[in-house]
Amino acid sequence: MSANVMQSASTVRAESQSGALASNASVALDVVDISKHFGGISALDHVSLSLRPGEVHGLIGPNGSGKTTMLNMLSGYYQPSAGSIRHRGEELANATVQRRARIGIARTFQKPRLLPTLSVLDNAVLGAWPHSRASFLATAFGLPSVGREEKALRAQAAEILHGIGLGHVINRRANLLDHAEQRFLEIARGLVMQPRFILLDEPAGGLTGNEIEHLADVIRTLREAGIGVLLVEHHTDFVFRICDRVTTLNVGKMIKHGTPDEVRADPEVIRVYLGA
Ligand code: ADP
Ligand code: MG
């Protein structure tokens, strides 16, 4: 993983952030007392967490506990029924996906969502859409209208792909990638956005031991670059090893928040999720 790529991304962010911050405006992504109902189902019930730059924050819990719903709410795919999502003094609870992407909230999906017939490079470049002035189609198909800005973008995307270990498949169609490659491509696409925060929905799902180690290296590099990582994951050994803090959900409620050691030792977490 190429640390300088991540550093250049975070430097751009740091420069664009300087000056405007009110003294009481948190640089974290703060989820305050969020609830989300689907009809009679309470997918999230008064949950709070704070995703800080340069921290890896685990989000764990049994299936159906509301983890993906939290990601959907942070990235703007769902709007909360109640509560607040704040960043640098801005209320984001009802902000669009576009607005959140522009302030630097990237995500991956539980089942990778790539454009199957486009190349790896084109899929990665699409991650820059919040910053790009060229049209989606011009970017995707490399039409002549794609100017110097787009060339720079493609070079940066290629650099990120090399850094994440996909340099050898940059021109391959995305549907020819194996499962792990697709997962890493999704992360690369998120990084092309130059995010402040990246939300990863079960990124280790279906990965081999070696691939999980590579994922751990990638996530550590993101942390060092100052990116806040929200890690939804069922591989609890991996979560406890890599996370700075962990939040545990059960049927929409937060049951424990703390350091990995605190969460791992919590009787309620053991009862509902980790097993005896
Ligand atoms: P997790 O990711 O922890 O497995 P989810 O966030 O996907 O859990 O789901 C939490 C609960 O919300 C589940 O009961 C699920 O069925 C429900 N849910 C999630 N999304 C929707 C939706 N779009 N419509 C209705 N119910 C949903
Ligand atoms: Mg889920």
* Domain boundaries of the chain, sorted by first residue: 2-274
pTM of full prediction above 0.95:
no
**Continuous segment of H or E residues that includes residue 247:** strand 245-250
Ligand sitting nearest the alpha carbon of 273:
1
CATH code given to domain 2-274 = 3.40.50.300
Ligand sitting nearest the alpha carbon of 42:
1
Establish whether residue 41 lines the binding site of ligand 1, counting it when its CB lies within 6 angstroms of any ligand atom: yes
Establish whether residue 21 lines the binding site of ligand 1, counting it when its CB lies within 6 angstroms of any ligand atom: no
User: Across the chain, how many H-helices and E-strands are there?
Assistant: 11, 10
Q: Whose CA is nearest to atom 26 of ligand 1?
A: 38
Establish whether residue 3 lines the binding site of ligand 1, counting it when its CB lies within 6 angstroms of any ligand atom: no
Which residues partner with 232 through β-bridges?
A: 59, 201
Establish whether residue 38 lines the binding site of ligand 1, counting it when its CB lies within 6 angstroms of any ligand atom: yes
| Token couple for 25 | 């405006």
For residue 71, the CA-to-ligand 2 centroid distance in Å is 9
The three-class DSSP label of residue 104 is: coil
The residue type found at 139 is: T
Q: pLDDT at position 56, please?
A: 98
For residue 95, the CA-to-ligand 2 centroid distance in Å is 22
Q: Mean pLDDT in runs of 10 for the chain (276 residues)?
A: 48 43 74 96 97 98 96 95 96 92 92 92 87 64 68 92 97 96 96 96 96 97 97 96 98 97 97 87
* Whole-number Å distance between alpha carbons of 36 and 80: 5
Q: Whose CA is nearest to atom 21 of ligand 1?
A: 38
Q: pLDDT at position 11, please?
A: 44
Q: Whose CA is nearest to atom 25 of ligand 1?
A: 38
Q: pLDDT at position 17, please?
A: 44
- Among 61, 68, 169, 70, which residue's Cα sits nearest to residue 111? 68
Quote the longest CA-to-CA distance of the chain.
61
Return the ∠ at Cα 231 (arms to 227 and 234), rounded to 5°.
Answer: 165
Q: pLDDT at position 271, please?
A: 96
Q: pLDDT at position 8, please?
A: 42
For residue 20, the CA-to-ligand 1 centroid distance in Å is 37
